[in-house]
Structure 1
């Protein structure tokens, strides 16, 4: 008879908490957590998306690309499929055993570890192992291999792990993969920092956010280039009881490549549009969007004001040109070479007071007016 609390129990015994199985076989806890976090954020965005009135397409594409790039960086940082291989072997479960069984062995290399899986038995469902070996320090891989020997891990898993634990006589695959993962991890964290800055700048200054997007794409592409260039010169070919494991680039590598190309292309397009049509992108911080206090409205009004000022007559320049014409007439030979109409109707009282006619032509200076009267000189006794 089954009860309410009989899950994971066998024959009425207590629930089995298998602490010794530290790494799940069918899924990675870190990756599942990352997917849940970013999927929750994207779901919240989809829920509020119908409330966006304008620029719906650009907003959806920008947010989707940003979340995709952030998820890719974190998945690639903690993932185990940068270099992968799998094959079917007919081998004994333990060393020096005569009993053979068919099993599937796989090797999944990450930046700081390798997962070796073993699925055997009839229907490949009876025995399932997933051992994770870390190489965060130079000697950690060798220690993990010795611990696996003491625990009695399956013989095929130990055969594959031995290729990464030896560092002499040409067996340097472990150190080469550790070096490639170390520098690739640094580039990924640099990409993550650039991605965070990209999100901040897209909310404040879209042009600089586009430049940060280009920088993020370049860093992700440099991550792929770094990992590919630091891989072992001699490709790793692992032999397990007559079967061969040939390692190839996994989906983590190609995912980072796709995200980097997409981020670089989108950043270049946004930067080009902003250079050709400046001040066309709205930001999330514009609470006065589509109001008289909108940034676009203010910019357009400022351009209209500048054009209006350009169309108005330049009074100061016209007044200065009139003075220059009068001076040229004054310094000339008495000929009036100027053309046009001079306003001679206004003569200030202060200007008449300081006017000094000459004896040659007493009526000549009556039509002359200075812009400002000369300042009186003070006499000090």
Structure 2
């Protein structure tokens, strides 16, 4: 099996970790490039405002990166259990393994890691993705053709249309609405950044609060899966149920951060509006037309060399 780099021949692609999917890694790299590009201009900013701009750039890009990344993470909810379970179909072989279920907005990941990893002269370390963009049936059929271990097939079958648990309807639609509201929050975040660069700081604060509101809406949408009867997974001698995981709590923290920033901006804009405009470098011009005072002007004789000027014409005096 070394010729295939420890991957069975019937796997067409190398299996990757669910934590760093391709789309998630792309989103992180894009925001890292933006952060580096914007931080390069900091040396050109003078005074104490340099620290404020650095804090503003880092905070804003952190919020935007989290909103985008949450759409592609696979750990909004998860469940784990270490148990003894049958390994393959039509076999009495029992393995001790850690089985994990990781739920995202676009599908699930099922992991199976042996304890120890090498058992029955095989490396038991599986990480399988099942997506429900349309239905999960095709992915499940491919898993059957590959001959994946029983625990993975058992969990995947719970999310098929024919399963009496009906998990596909709970997780698919809640994830779809959660993703839609997250992208709306991302649009609000972009509008807030645009408004922060204009002399309308109050509305920028309102859009930051709108960003927080849509993040909370996405959490509320995903939370609906906990309001229906939960399907218990029985695997060998153990069982488990899904609970909220890292991405859910990260969304909560980001929403609270946007709420705090929005409230602070709105209150400070009401109390000290001129100071806020000065802090964000969007104040009105300090010189108005009616306040402009021009000093005494002088002529440079160097530029007047060779220039002849004629005296103003004098009126002839007539003597009557």
Partners of 2:6 and 2:228 in 1: how far apart? 46
Query: Are the counterparts in 1 of residues 117 and 124 from structure 2 also a CA contact under 8 Å?
Result: no
Corresponding residue for residue 25 of structure 2: 32
Match of 1:136 among 133, 137, 148: 133
Query: Are the counterparts in 2 of residues 180 and 231 from structure 1 also a CA contact under 8 Å?
Result: no
With normalisation by structure 2, the TM-score equals 0.79
Match of 1:110 among 104, 109, 117: 104
Q: Structure 2 stretches of 5 or more lacking a match?
A: 293-320
3-state secondary structure, aligned to 2:158? helix
Corresponding residue for residue 67 of structure 1: 61
Offset, 1:298 = 3.5
Q: How does 1:1-381 map to 2 (within 5 A)?
A: 20-21=12-13, 23-25=15-17, 27-54=20-47, 55-120=49-114, 122-123=116-117, 126-137=123-134, 140-167=135-162, 169=164, 171-204=165-198, 205-282=200-277, 295=284, 297-298=286-287
Partners of 1:113 and 1:131 in 2: how far apart? 11
Offset, 1:183 = 1.0
- Residues 206-232 of structure 1: CA distance to partner in whole angstroms, max 9, x if unpaired? 332222111111111111122113445
Offset, 1:14 = 9.1
3-state secondary structure, aligned to 2:273? coil
Query: Are the counterparts in 1 of residues 117 and 125 from structure 2 also a CA contact under 8 Å?
Result: no
Q: Structure 1 stretches of 5 or more lacking a match?
A: 1-8, 306-381
Query: Are residues 168 and 161 of structure 1, via their aligned partners in 2, closer, same or farther at CA, if it must alter by over 3 Å?
Result: closer
3-state secondary structure, aligned to 2:108? strand
Aligned CA RMSD, in angstroms, stands at: 3.0
Offset, 1:178 = 0.9
Partners of 2:287 and 2:15 in 1: how far apart? 59
Offset, 1:159 = 0.9
Partners of 2:142 and 2:152 in 1: how far apart? 13
Which has the bigger relative contact order, CA under 8 A and spacing at least 6? 2
3-state secondary structure, aligned to 1:281? helix
3-state secondary structure, aligned to 2:136? helix
Partners of 1:84 and 1:191 in 2: how far apart? 24
Query: Are residues 230 and 89 of structure 1, via their aligned partners in 2, closer, same or farther at CA, if it must alter by over 3 Å?
Result: closer
Query: Are the counterparts in 2 of residues 176 and 231 from structure 1 also a CA contact under 8 Å?
Result: no
Partners of 2:202 and 2:223 in 1: how far apart? 32
Partners of 1:249 and 1:124 in 2: how far apart? 31
Query: Are the counterparts in 1 of residues 99 and 111 from structure 2 also a CA contact under 8 Å?
Result: yes
Partners of 2:231 and 2:5 in 1: how far apart? 42
Query: Are residues 58 and 211 of structure 1, via their aligned partners in 2, closer, same or farther at CA, if it must alter by over 3 Å?
Result: farther
Query: Are residues 240 and 166 of structure 1, via their aligned partners in 2, closer, same or farther at CA, if it must alter by over 3 Å?
Result: farther
Query: Are the counterparts in 2 of residues 177 and 231 from structure 1 also a CA contact under 8 Å?
Result: no
With normalisation by structure 1, the TM-score equals 0.67
Corresponding residue for residue 344 of structure 1: none
Rg (Cα) greater in structure: 1
Aligned residues between the structures: 284
Query: Are the counterparts in 1 of residues 202 and 266 from structure 2 also a CA contact under 8 Å?
Result: yes
- Residues 323-362 of structure 1: CA distance to partner in whole angstroms, max 9, x if unpaired? xxxxxxxxxxxxxxxxxxxxxxxxxxxxxxxxxxxxxxxx
